[in-house]
């Protein structure tokens, strides 16, 4: 009997479906599907499974987070623009017992002032930003460590 691998929910927020086309000098040239493929390969090495949610709608992301309790071992979230003002996403992350890592492709602290503040950072285990697609891979390693009992 095969033991089921823990599953991580990867959430991609608004406009991330345009990766590869949208400001490649800021966000890189990889598409969202290419990033997801890299994540799947990394997850296999880490012995975990992934499910993906991409939405341009705040409520869909809130629903995904709320449904994570008891279903997912962890969350990797790039809330994109919602990072800076969505109290609803922040409150959803705070309400569930699932550990989460916040991800950003760009270094939000080297960008416009309004991007320097994250309303979700206070309720996640950590934040990784500025490494392009590797930010997601680093977050996957971090969440695997958290759910595996490492900190």
Catalytic residue among 12, 27, 84, 109: 27
HSE-up of residue 145 (Cα within 13 Å, Cβ side): 11
More confident residue, 63 or 21: 63
What token pair was written down for 100? 């989460």
Mean pLDDT of 109-135: 89
The pTM (predicted TM-score) of the whole model is 0.93
More confident residue, 127 or 110: 127
**Domains located in the chain, CATH noted:** 7-146 (3.40.50.9100)
Q: Per-residue pLDDT tens for 92-114?
A: 999 999 999 999 998 887 777 77
Residue 84 bears catalytic tag: no
Q: How many CB atoms lie within 10 A of CB 16?
A: 21
Return d(Cα 112, Cα 114) in angstroms, integer.
6
Catalytic residue among 104, 109, 125, 136: 104
What token pair was written down for 44? 């296999």
Q: What is the DSSP secondary-structure string of 22-43?
A: S-HHHH-S--HHHHHHHHHHHH
Residue 104 bears catalytic tag: yes
């Amino acid at each position: 009997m095969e033991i089921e691998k823990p599953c991580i929910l990867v959430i991609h927020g608004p406009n991330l479906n345009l990766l590869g086309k949208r400001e490649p000098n800021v966000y890189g040239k990889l598409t969202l599907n290419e990033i997801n493929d890299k994540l799947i390969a990394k997850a296999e090495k880490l012995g975990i499974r992934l499910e993906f949610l991409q939405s341009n709608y705040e409520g869909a992301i809130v629903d995904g987070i709320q449904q994570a309790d008891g279903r997912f071992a962890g969350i990797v979230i790039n809330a994109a623009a919602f990072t800076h003002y969505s109290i609803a996403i922040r409150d959803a992350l705070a309400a569930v017992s699932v550990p989460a890592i916040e991800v950003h492709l760009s270094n939000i602290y080297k960008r416009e002032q309004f991007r320097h503040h994250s309303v979700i950072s206070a309720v996640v285990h950590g934040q990784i930003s500025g490494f392009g697609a590797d930010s997601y891979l680093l977050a996957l390693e971090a969440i695997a460590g958290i759910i595996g009992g490492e900190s």
